[in-house]
Structure 1
């Protein structure tokens, strides 16, 4: 009997939350934009076949596309109009509220990555952010960085080519 391999590590499933109420508080402009983007992507996913047909027809055409691809354009627009309903907007809003925890965890992970990168930067360059700002930062920036060049005894002199 062959031993079964353990299943691959799966991404932690984030629970979906219900809508707080049927009439939640108004969302901010950015949140409304996220809901609209979900709504439009849902409608586009329903009409993916029609969009693909129109895109294939219009490929390589310029101003003749509306005339040559009129049938595909109408089919695409009819599909979009059919699926672009208020119930679909409500479903997108419910999905947005349901995925609140997922977005929160993504923001927390992004912040943790930023903090880790900042810590790495401090270690790598040996220059904390506080030292880059203010008078101390300006003094450090005025000092020339030596990345090779002539030994210290040659500083202030003209290049060696001019001494010949």
Structure 2
């Protein structure tokens, strides 16, 4: 992530909807990590006290540091609320532009490095079509909120596809019945 207190912070976007949006597993993991980070930040003193107590102890840490451990856990439980999780989700959505700029910066650096290596080793230039497609992919926004995948059929086609699959499944089940009836496995 980018620096927290930087002077050149990207403008933050508002939360797109108060209703939970379907996110990918990796996006949910990023939100969860942000949530844990926020809770740990609020309980930093208690965590440090427990860590200082547990330093250079192995088996006895659970017994010797029971009180700091209890204090640390109660602090984390007190701060690990649904409101804090919602705040982490809002912060994740607010940082979309920041992540997009970081992704763009990394992609440009990668392209520069690739061009340098091609020039250094005398490799042929990348064809213009591939470079154009890569730049288009880079310009696309982060997917949030259940955009359909390009490989999925439209909703209007799904009932017809389901009926076709049912018909195919029905034919296959008839074949398996006829194979079982004569016992040969060869069908009729």
Q: Deviations over 1:82-140 (max 9, x none)?
A: 0000000000000000010000000000000000000010111112487xxxxxxxxxx
Structure 2 matches for 1:116-155, cutoff 5 A? Answer: 116-128=112-124
Task: Name the residue aligned to 1:57.
Answer: 53
Q: Distance in 1 between matches of 2:52 and 2:19?
A: 42
Q: Structure 1 length as normaliser, TM-score?
A: 0.71
Equivalent pairs, count = 121
Residues 55 and 126 (structure 1), Cα distance of their counterparts in 2 relative to 1, 3 Å cut: same
Structure 2 matches for 1:103-122, cutoff 5 A? Answer: 103-122=99-118
Q: Structure 2 length as normaliser, TM-score?
A: 0.62
Task: Name the residue aligned to 1:73.
Answer: 69
Q: For structure 2, which runs of at least 5 residues remain unmatched after alignment?
A: 1-5, 127-188
Secondary structure of the residue that 1:26 maps to in structure 2? coil
Q: Distance in 1 between matches of 2:46 and 2:124?
A: 55
Q: Is structure 2 residue 98 aligned with structure 1 residue 97?
A: no
Q: Distance in 1 between matches of 2:75 and 2:53?
A: 17
Q: For structure 1, which runs of at least 5 residues remain unmatched after alignment?
A: 1-9, 131-164
Q: Is structure 2 residue 2 aligned with structure 1 residue 12?
A: no
Q: CA RMSD in A?
A: 1.5
Of 22, 41, 58, which aligns to 1:26?
A: 22
